[in-house]
Amino acid sequence: MNLIEHLKKEHAELRALLDAAENVLGKPRGVGLDDRLSSEGKLLFDALKSFLLAFEKHEEAESLVIKRLLRLENILSARSPASYPKISSKLHQSVEEGHRSLKSITHLLSAMAAASDSDQIYSIRHVLSSLKQELNQHLDYEEREIFPKLEETLSPDVLNKMIRWTKKNSPSPPARQTSK
């Protein structure tokens, strides 16, 4: 598995974790502020926590990859400036902007879920829907625009080395707490 395949797998896992949180909410049971949670509030909090842990790990890994690419790009462009297209600065900017936006929404959602009495969840449902839309747009952009450019620019050997380097240097995820 190379770097691009690994990142696509993580994207699928993030989407699945967010879908799981949305499934815990269930269908609206009421209109507007009368909407009620159809399951236990702790299940929602646990699902959101699982998503947030995976998102933080993915974000840190992508940041490491970008930093590594910037260093690699500087080395390669110094050797052959005209033939090496610069993509890392655009990649860095777009990924960081997306991460900032997603991080803001995830922090808001986390705070709302922690403060919620699980009785009135209209706002949580709305913010979760916004997060899902924003996450999908961000991941789709990376897969549609950035990954193909990386595959065009970097050799399969470099992509394979990058995944080994990323796995070696990525932080371990925090230990997950199991609900009792």
- The secondary structure of 82-107, three-state, reads CCCCCCHHHHHHHHHHHHHHHHHHHH
* Residue 94 pLDDT > 80: no
- Output the average pLDDT for the chain: 75
Instruction: Please report, for the chain, the start and end positions of each structural domain, with discontinuous segments joined by +.
Output: 3-25+36-169
Q: What pLDDT is attached to residue 176?
A: 44
- pLDDT value for 119: 55
By percentage, how much of the chain surpasses pLDDT 70? 68
Sign for the CA dihedral angle at 26, 27, 30, 34 comes to positive
Task: Provide the pLDDT for residue 118.
Answer: 53
Q: Tens digits of per-residue pLDDT, 127-158?
A: 888 889 989 998 998 899 888 877 887 788 88
Q: Give the pLDDT score at 145.
A: 82
Q: Residue 124: what pLDDT?
A: 77
